[in-house]
Amino acid sequence: MFGTIVNSLAILLGGCLGLLFQKGIADRFKNTVMQALGLSVLMIGMSGALKSENILLLIFSLVVGSLVGEALKVEDKLTAFGKWMEARSGRGEGQVARGFVATSLIYCVGAMAIVGALESGLTGNHETLYAKSLLDGVSAVIFASTLGVGVLLSALSVLVYQGAITLAAGALAVVLVDAVILEMSAIGGLLIVGIAVNILEIKRIPVGNMLPAVFVPLFYPVVEPFLTKLVQFLQTLF
């Protein structure tokens, strides 16, 4: 858990620094910076998603995960929490909720969040999370300067999400083979692409509801026979 705690503190520190610059930046600069961040997030997501070696598993995971997330209304719950904090802070216009949801997803679904938390739980090695802490802290400065105080709340999301993965890693060690971790990371990368689309305001994608897709590859031994039969069926058609 230590690596996750450091990660959360880095986001808080970076977010606080970003808030100091918030009022000194004109809106036109904030808008341009957000577009630049959106393009950067898009590149990061695509580089991670393209590492997938099992496209059928990726598609299956996204479909099943999206159905589960939609049923659980994951994004609605994240937004509701952000709006609740927004009401308590006296800030309006949805800015707190927007900052919280956007950065929570960015910091939680990436490959470093998944692999780092697993390494922390399985081996006690926190180096990946230390590196992620540095990156998240720096990006939190930029995000907070444009999205506001909601970015600081994402530190709580990181603490809960990565902490849960770390604590569960020991129990899941049997199924956490390299292929499964690779696909989990690739799905996370694809979800980051969705976040970039939201930041760039191209189209609203409920990425939060797709979050359960990251964990579907854990059931790969159960899913693999189904996917194999599906491939064989498609081959008979074409």
Which pLDDT score is estimated for 66?
92
pTM greater than 0.85: no
What is the rounded CA–CA span in Å between residue 228 and residue 111? 26
Give me the number of domains the chain comprises. Answer: 1
Q: In the prediction, which pLDDT does 238 show? A: 65
Residue 234: per-residue pLDDT:
67
pLDDT at residue 135, rounded to an integer: 79
Q: 190: closest CA among 60, 70, 3?
A: 60
Q: Residue 39 to residues 27, 33, 85, 210, 219: CA-CA distances in angstroms?
A: 19, 10, 29, 21, 33
pLDDT tens track, the chain, 238 positions: 888 999 999 999 988 988 887 766 667 777 787 788 788 878 888 888 888 888 888 888 899 999 998 998 888 887 777 677 666 655 555 577 778 888 888 888 776 787 788 878 877 878 778 878 887 888 888 888 888 888 888 898 889 888 888 888 777 777 777 888 888 888 888 888 888 888 788 888 888 888 888 888 888 777 677 767 776 776 777 6
User: Could you give the CA distance from residue 173 to residue 66 in angstroms, rounded to a whole number?
Assistant: 25
Residue range of the domain that includes 226: 2-237
What's the CA gap between 20 and 22, in Å, rounded? 6
